[in-house]
Every structure is written in C-alpha cells, then in structure tokens.
Structure 1
C-alpha cells in the first residue's frame, strides 16, 4: 500500500498522496518485440474514418499516428495502451515529450500499456516494481452508440508523482452514465519524470528542467485535441481531472501558460495540498546533484551521460528520500500556482475542487497503527511537537484535544488532514474565485468502505471518509467494483451526476439534491456529499470552522 507517494507508508503520504516487471532485455529488443506483438495487417474491408465507425462495433479508429483496434464491452468501447508520445527511452530519457511515431497496419489496443518506472506497493496489481520506461500510453473509454461531439474528461492518476498508472481507474460505467468520453493517462514518475540538474537545464526548451511528467500530461492533452473527435469526443469540451497527485497536477496545469487551450475545465480531488507549491529551481538542481551522486554519478561534468547510462532499476533505487515535484521558473510554470491564481494569470476556466472529511486518517494509520505502534495518549503531545514544532504543537494540542476523538491516532489525523487537505482546498477556492466559476465539495461519507488497497488489511481501524475513498464512488478502482450498500450506491449515483454535469459544461447538479454553490457568489458554501442516514447531501457553511482553518490559514501550508 502506498499513499500514492513513495515508500511503503500510509497511502496518503505521498500515492493518493507498482507493476509487473517486463522482460529484462535491451531497449531495441523490447521495442522490436512490442512492435511485433501489437501490429497486424490492415484488413482490406476496414473503412473506419472520423468517429471510428469502421470495423466490428466501431472499434477500429484511425489516429494521427495510425490505425488502432479496440474492443466493444458491455459499457461501450475501450482502446487501451495507445501511445500518445514517442517513448522516452535511450537518448530520450529526460527529454521533453515528442509526438508518437507513425506505424503501419493496425495496432491492437486491447491491453494496458507498461506502467512507468516505480516501486512495488500494496495496491492491487503492484506487488512488483516496474522498470519500464516505454510507458507513455493512454486509454480511451466511450459509451455505446454513434453519437459524436461528446464532452471529454482526461483523468490524471494519483500516486504522489512517484507511482500509479492510468489503469488505476476503469471509468467505462462513468462514461456510459454521463454520456462522456473518458481518457486515462500514464506519465513519467519519480526521478524519471522530475529530475532537475544543471545539465538538463541546458537541454530544456525554457531553461528549467524537472517537469517531464507534467509535460507528458500536456502532450496527452494535445493528443486528445488532435484525435478525440475520431472517438466521438468534442475537442472543445475537455475537462482535465485527477485525484491526489493527479489533482495536484491539475492545479499546476491551471497555472501553466503552456497548457492554455488544451482544456475548458478542471476537477481537483484532494490535490490542493501544500497549496500546490512547486520546487524552486535552485533547490531542485541542488537535489538533482545529490541524487546523481547517490546514483553513482558524482562528477557534474559527466553526471548526465552517466545517469542516462544507468539502468532504470538503479535510478529507481536511488530516488528514495528526494522530493519529486514540478519546478517553478520557466515557461511551463513561471510563478507558483498560488501566485498565478491570485494575480489572475491562471486559466480562466470552471473548476470543481474539494477534499474528503477524514483525509488524514490514512496517513496517520500508515505512520502509527499500520506500523504496529498505535499512537498513545501519553505520546500524543510529543507527536504533535515533532510534526509542528513546540509553539504550533501546543496550539494544535489545544484545538485537537484527545477528549474530542475516539483515539489519539484519529486526533492526530484530524490535524494532519485539516492542514494538508481541507484548509488548502478552501484557500484554493478563494484564490480561484477571482478568475472564474469555482464549485466546492467535501466527500463526507464516514461509513465509506476502505478503498481496495486497505480492504485486505487485518485491522479494525476506522478510516472514515479518508484520502482516496471517494474515487471508488465514481469509477471501478483498480478495476474492482466496491461493495457499497444501498445508501452508498445512491450517493455514488449522485456523485456521478455531479461530476458528469460539470464535465458536460454546467454547474454540478444531481437529481433531488442541491446544485453546488459557485464560490464567486456564495463563498465558503461547500457541497457536503453524505448518505441519507447522515442527513443527505447538502450545502454546508461550516466546513471552514469544522476543520479549524482559522488556525491553519495563519501558518505555512503543510
């Protein structure tokens, strides 16, 4: 289990913030085998053109790089493992993404592509690390029927920018129920996606390295703009969405001038942590030099060539302990996202932004109970001092007294989650409201079942509405159907309606429930997503106070 973020700790600590090892052969051999495996002759009877209507069940589509054949399912059509960029292997390691090379014949698009380089985790299917760099693929899900001009949602996975893959969610049912086309994306992770060095700065088009993973996301959005009409999608109505590190990616793309025109709306789920702050260039380059030394490439004059010659397995082994995140200062991200929101330079598009009511419980579990050492009442004050320092720790202790919580771990979790997620999201709403519609939500189903990575753990820990838990209400998480009860299924249906109406271009709405409040006209009003027995979904004016944001807004983001 990983909090979508790094080493094995609670899933929120970095993956909400895995993959089988492919054959160990040379790059050339792997590429040759891959081409042989996925290319088959173009059938003479194929007549598919724009919209992808040729072939069996409309599953044959001509992209700008060549023909692909997907498959029909009970929910519609799906096209898996479609390359959107030239694979970043060999000399293209730590290069900005380039358009995918054309191929001849028909490429089978019926299996997920490789996962990008990452460690193993407890998430289903991630029991072994992945050392594959040829991973810049995406997956397209469309409803049945021949309708064209459907709105599009591009989903960016979580994983702390060090883990995960587009396949982590299967949104086929969401696509059918909402009448949308959904695209899920792989992008480079960890050191492969975010290494910054002086040598790489010299190769970067804007003089600032370290943004390869998010540039991959922009390349995928450009692929969508060029190709999605052939799948029945409308390139003018693209919503970029994501959870945790995927949500953080969205809030970064909102501030990136080079992403302008690639989407018309954004959805940020639990992604505003740390106020979406990027690394400063000087620190990123300093860390890059330290990483190179750790990886066995200490000489600055030869470090880049040395690193490019290192096997992916060795790069992965050296990346632990470093912060892998976007870098501010170049054309991709001229200023910090928070500054872009406040000075009006961020994209002026509608945004749906929110967090979960118990985000911190996953992280606190990973830090204490998950390690077999539940936090005790005696240890609680010291744990707060370690986390926040003596002065702030005393203030936190007063605001989060043990008597108000079922356990010391839950008390610690409340402070952690409020600071990292709830209050950061509310601040982001305020900052964004000056440049377009902003709709705030909070997922508050405290009866929600733990998401798939946690369900097999031998624990009775109450995770509540923790980090990642809302994802399973929208999609098949890790391809699995979550065991929801009747009330939870009803809430899941509402959430799909809210998200779907927003993707289609309107305010988030659901049958028999209130429309989400626009923060421009109803600031601080949050759509609280709850089951009927907990009062039902409603507009709340107390979220800021419930999460003690008066305290956290006065201290640096965590």
Structure 2
C-alpha cells in the first residue's frame, strides 16, 4: 500500500524538466518494478539531415527557447518494412529522425552509470522506440539508459565520388555511424543533467548494433566517449568486413544513374520516399566502408595491433543464429545431402569442413549444419572479435553463449512449434528485461529466470565493467582452460564451459579471407 501511495504521489508530481546545452526539455513520469522513473523521448541530438545536409556528417542541433516537450518518440529513420518482428512506437517515419530517448531513476542527480544502446536491423531497419529496447527496466536498476536513432540504408550508407570530393575529409558513406558518434558526444555533454556519469558510458547493441559497437571501438572518432562495450551477435569482421570506399562509390554512381540524377544537387532534391522505394530492388544490408575518416583500416587490423579502445568488453552469440536449412536448402538433412552441400560451399576444403562439422546421421547433420549456418552468418565474426580483443585488448573480455529458446507463441500458426535454440535477436528482450513488452510469446518461469540472469549480468557490467555480482553464478573472463576458451552459457540455469571451437573458427577465418559469405 505504501508503494502504491508513493507511485500515486510520483505520478501526480509535475512533469520532470531538465536543462540541456540546447534548452529545457520536459519529460514524463513512469514506473518499473516499483521504482519511480523519469522518461524523456524524442530529444534531438543533431540537426535534421534534410536538403543540403542529406549525406553530410551530422550537424549540431539548433537551440530552442521554450521548454521542449519530450514525451513521445521522434520519427523513425527512413526504412522499408523488412522485418516482421519489428514493432514501432515512433511518431511515423521521416528523414528528420536524429533523436534519442532517455530513461532515468526519478530524482537522480548523482553520477549513475550510463547505457547507450544501438538497435539492430542490418543498417537498413530498426528504431529506438521498439519495445524490446525499452530502457525502463535497466533504469529501475540505477542505470541511465539511452536509445538512439541513426540514418539507415541509402540515407546512412551511400557514397559517390562527388560526395567524397565535397567532404573536407574526402570521406563518404558511414553517415549512420557518424550519427552514433554525434549521439555519444551529445551524451558526453548532456548526460550529467539526467544524473548520468559521462565517464561511465557503456555502448551496446545487437546484430547491426553490435557490428556498430565493434566499429566504434576501432574508430578514432569515438575514442574516449565510452568506458565499456557490449556486443550481442555481430562484429565488423569478415565476412562482415568493411568494403573499400571505391566500391561504395561505384554502387552509388550506378544507383544515381538508375534514378536519372546526374548531380548531388539533383540527388538531394529527390523526395525521400522516392529514394527509399528505389532501394527495393537492392538486396542485402547496407555496408560500412573504409572512408579514411571514421575507419582508416579494417577493425580486425586495428585490433590485431591493439589500437582499438582499451575497454572491458562483454560479447557473445546465440545457439541458433542460423538453421540447418540455410546449408541444405530444400534437401532433407541426410548425410549424403549434407556432404553435397559442403562440397558446394567449400570445394576442395569440403572434407576438412566435414571433419569440423561432422554429419554421420540426421541428428548430427541438423546440429552441425545449424552450427555452421550460425557461424557463417554472424557467430564467427563475434568469436573473432572476442579472440582479437582477448589477445590484444588490454582489458577483460567476458564471452557468452545464449541458449534459452523462446517458448511457444501465444497464438501459434497451425503446425508451428518453438525453435529448438535461441534464434538471432532472441536475446534482446532477455538482456534488457523486456519480456513483457513482447506479447507474441507465452513466457514461462524459465524465461523469466533466464532474463533475470542475463539482465543481472548486463547491469553489473554496465556499472562496474565486470558482470559478476551477488546472486549471479560466477562468470570468469575469457582465458584458456580445459582445451578451450571459457565462456558463460546463459539460460535459465547458467554455467561456465570451455568453448572448443577454435579449429572451426580458424577454418572459417581462412575461408573468408578469400570468399564472400555464400549464404
């Protein structure tokens, strides 16, 4: 009863206001886990990238005189409806989309740790308003939590020779990543007003967001803007390595010719929706490039020399990042079909692949092909990031393997059953404490236990740079042990085990040195 009375008093209090470098903002009051919170949404961290600012680095936001309402999410960045699991709470879609959101404990004025989270979606989709990224649960644990929108697709990752020529740095593309740097600078300059400590910023993300975190660790532009990093499934390392600027310029010129726009002025004059719709014929994610400014070389090369940000890193991947059908296509999972698939993928190296990913019977084929599909998609890049960081990072590395399958859906389709493993992106709600925000699944006590563990680990790491704490199973930093590398299996019941997959990863590293991802 006392807690309810306190909440009523909190809700009846005047809306919270904060003075920022650009002016005052007024948020709203909320509650999570009986903890009073203050929420600020749709705060501009850069000028709208419209008109002549299209395909330019983010510019400072204009100051405002009156108190600015920050009670609803800003528009999401321009994107096609590509992923069925994305649910948005944003106020529509616009090229004017460089906004961020802040969740904080009510009345917090001391130096609290800060999380800045970058959403995933292949750099072509996603939004900081998605319920799975909601910051309320972590804020209730004493963490000032920030989600950020950044430019996507052709608006965030487009280059032409003319764009490079007009740039003082002779760089083009990577505008979405430059947006993230601008957001981190905004956090450095403003987060103390929300009770956050600019010296205790953790950057985190999943999939493309994780790839961005690895890039930010390597980029000279973001140095000193964060103290810790979290990567969930993904790194900017082969087969997801940055491409040469010249490659992006050729693609950009071809795209401009298709649109009949011969000059930058003509390209910038095109309606945003026409540009967006013209990308429907393109396939794949947007690419990060070696622009000589945000990235001077590949992150793998920087990390191998120890030139990345020397900060504690927590990272990992999921038990079902891919599925055996990606390897076998429409063929049944028999040993014969599996051998044929490996021959198609690896040619003369097929026998070695079969030794590392054996398939003596149907059960083993399903298991090995699922592991291979996940490795080739994104788990290998994550493992390589871990290995480079533990060897050359100069700070602790904590490696995880998320293995809590989602439960059955509340309303499954006829014949639909739960995935046997933890699929790509499935860990987000668990890590950020947002199971309740996803009504698709019939969450169980086991799921809530796994979420409590994973969010607990994340919260401790954000606060201290070490995931260990009271009530959590011990999680040792990566080191060689028992013929492998220590990692934490995160599920309803967590445990430490030795990952003995180094030979698999060495095989794939050699393969991707000369091949693109064939899947």
Does residue 140 of structure 1 match 2:140?
Answer: no
1:141 and 1:551 mapped to 2: Cα distance?
44
1:207-266 per-position Cα deviation (integer Å, ceiling 9, x unaligned): 110010000001101111111111110111101100000000000000000101111111
Does residue 287 of structure 1 match 2:251?
Answer: yes
> 1:510 Cα shift?
4.1
Is the CA contact (8 Å cut-off) linking 1:451 and 1:468 kept in structure 2?
A: no
> 1:383 Cα shift?
4.4
Is the CA contact (8 Å cut-off) linking 2:41 and 2:74 kept in structure 1?
A: yes
Query: Tell me, what secondary structure is at the counterpart of 1:120?
Result: coil
TM-score (norm 1): 0.80
1:291-324 per-position Cα deviation (integer Å, ceiling 9, x unaligned): 2122333x4xx2x222212222221123323652
Among 312, 316, 336, the residue aligned to 2:276: 316
> 1:203 Cα shift?
2.3
Alignment CA distance shift 1:203-1:56 (3 Å): farther
> What residue is the counterpart of 1:538 in the other structure?
495
> 1:109 Cα shift?
1.1
Query: Tell me, what secondary structure is at the counterpart of 2:68?
Result: strand
Does residue 307 of structure 1 match 2:307?
Answer: no
5+ residue gaps in structure 2?
A: 1-9
Does residue 267 of structure 1 match 2:230?
Answer: yes
Q: How does 1:338-353 map to 2 (within 5 A)?
A: 338-353=300-315
RMSD: 3.1
> What residue is the counterpart of 2:508 in the other structure?
552
> What residue is the counterpart of 1:416 in the other structure?
373
1:327 and 1:338 mapped to 2: Cα distance?
14
Is the CA contact (8 Å cut-off) linking 1:93 and 1:192 kept in structure 2?
A: yes
> 1:349 Cα shift?
1.1
5+ residue gaps in structure 1?
A: 1-52
> What residue is the counterpart of 1:149 in the other structure?
111
Does residue 507 of structure 1 match 2:466?
Answer: yes
Is the CA contact (8 Å cut-off) linking 1:447 and 1:465 kept in structure 2?
A: yes
Q: How does 1:337-486 map to 2 (within 5 A)?
A: 337-361=299-323, 364=326, 377=334, 380-386=338-344, 388-393=345-350, 395-397=352-354, 399-403=356-360, 406=363, 411-433=368-390, 434-449=392-407, 459-460=416-417, 462-475=419-432, 476=434, 479-480=437-438, 483-486=442-445
1:477 and 1:116 mapped to 2: Cα distance?
25
> What residue is the counterpart of 2:46 in the other structure?
85
> 1:384 Cα shift?
4.2
TM-score (norm 2): 0.85
Is the CA contact (8 Å cut-off) linking 1:437 and 1:518 kept in structure 2?
A: no
1:175 and 1:278 mapped to 2: Cα distance?
34
2:71 and 2:227 mapped to 1: Cα distance?
29
1:119 and 1:101 mapped to 2: Cα distance?
29
> 1:112 Cα shift?
1.0
> 1:479 Cα shift?
3.9
2:486 and 2:124 mapped to 1: Cα distance?
34
2:446 and 2:89 mapped to 1: Cα distance?
33
Is the CA contact (8 Å cut-off) linking 1:447 and 1:464 kept in structure 2?
A: yes
Does residue 60 of structure 1 match 2:17?
Answer: yes
Alignment CA distance shift 1:143-1:359 (3 Å): same
Is the CA contact (8 Å cut-off) linking 2:217 and 2:309 kept in structure 1?
A: yes
Q: Larger relative contact order (C-alpha < 8 A, sep ≥ 6)? A: 1
2:62 and 2:431 mapped to 1: Cα distance?
34
Alignment CA distance shift 1:128-1:120 (3 Å): farther
> 1:157 Cα shift?
0.3
1:79 and 1:128 mapped to 2: Cα distance?
13
1:185 and 1:420 mapped to 2: Cα distance?
25
> 1:381 Cα shift?
4.7
Is the CA contact (8 Å cut-off) linking 2:21 and 2:189 kept in structure 1?
A: yes
Alignment CA distance shift 1:253-1:118 (3 Å): same
Among 89, 110, 121, the residue aligned to 2:71: 110
2:54 and 2:17 mapped to 1: Cα distance?
32
> What residue is the counterpart of 2:210 in the other structure?
247
1:116 and 1:456 mapped to 2: Cα distance?
31
1:290 and 1:203 mapped to 2: Cα distance?
19
Query: Tell me, what secondary structure is at the counterpart of 1:236?
Result: strand
> 1:123 Cα shift?
2.5
> 1:144 Cα shift?
3.0
> 1:353 Cα shift?
1.4
